Amino acid sequence: MTGARPLIDARKLAIGYGSRVVARDIDVSLLAGEVVCLLGPNGSGKTTLFKTLLGLIGRLAGSISIAGRPIDSWRPSQLALRQAYVPQANVSVFPYRVLDMVLMGRTARLGLFAAPGAADRERAWSALKLLGIAHLAEREYTRISGGQRQLTLIARALAQEAPSIIMDEPTASLDFGNQAMVLREVARLAKSGLGIVLSTHHPDHAFAIAGRVLLLHDGRVIAEGPPREALTRQRLEQVYGVPISLDPLPDGRLSCAPLLS
Residue type, 219: G
Would 3 be classed as within a structural domain?
Answer: no
Would 106 be classed as within a structural domain?
Answer: yes
pTM: 0.91
Would 1 be classed as within a structural domain?
Answer: no
Q: Do residues 169 and 133 make contact, with C-beta atoms less than 8 angstroms apart? A: no
Question: Count of CB atoms within 10 A of residue 104's CB?
Answer: 15
What is the pLDDT at residue 175?
87
> What CATH number should be reported for the domain holding residue 133?
3.40.50.300
Name the residue range of residue 236's domain: 8-258
Would 198 be classed as within a structural domain?
Answer: yes
Residue type, 175: D
| Count of the separate structural domains present in the chain | 1
H or E segment to which residue 157 belongs: helix 146-159
Q: How far apart are CA 35 and CA 189, in angstroms?
A: 9
What is the pLDDT at residue 107?
87
The four Cα atoms 57, 63, 69, 72 give a dihedral, to 10 degrees, of 40
Would 28 be classed as within a structural domain?
Answer: yes
- Nearest residue to 60 (alpha-carbon basis) of 25, 101, 98: 25
Q: How far apart are CA 243 and CA 85, in angstroms?
A: 34
Q: How far apart are CA 121 and CA 100, in angstroms?
A: 9
What is the pLDDT at residue 147?
86
Residue by residue, pLDDT tens for the chain (261 residues) are 456 899 999 999 999 998 899 999 999 999 999 999 999 998 899 999 999 999 999 999 999 999 999 999 999 889 999 999 998 767 666 889 999 999 999 988 886 667 888 999 999 999 999 999 999 999 999 899 888 988 999 999 999 999 999 999 998 878 898 889 889 999 999 999 999 999 999 999 999 999 999 999 999 999 999 999 999 999 999 999 999 999 999 988 999 999 987
- Nearest residue to 50 (alpha-carbon basis) of 214, 225, 175, 190: 214
Would 95 be classed as within a structural domain?
Answer: yes
Long-range contacts of range 217-226, CB-CB < 8 Å, 24 or more positions apart?
217/40, 217/41, 217/44, 218/44, 219/21, 219/22, 219/23, 219/24, 219/44, 219/45, 220/23, 220/24, 220/25, 220/26, 221/23, 221/25, 221/26, 221/27, 221/28, 224/27
Would 2 be classed as within a structural domain?
Answer: no
DSSP string, 234-248: HHHHHHHSS-EEEEE
What is the pLDDT at residue 88?
78
Please compute, for residue 20, the number of CA atoms within 13 A of its CA located in the half-sphere on the CB side.
5
| DSSP designation for 48 | H
Please compute, for residue 52, the number of CA atoms within 13 A of its CA located in the half-sphere on the CB side.
29
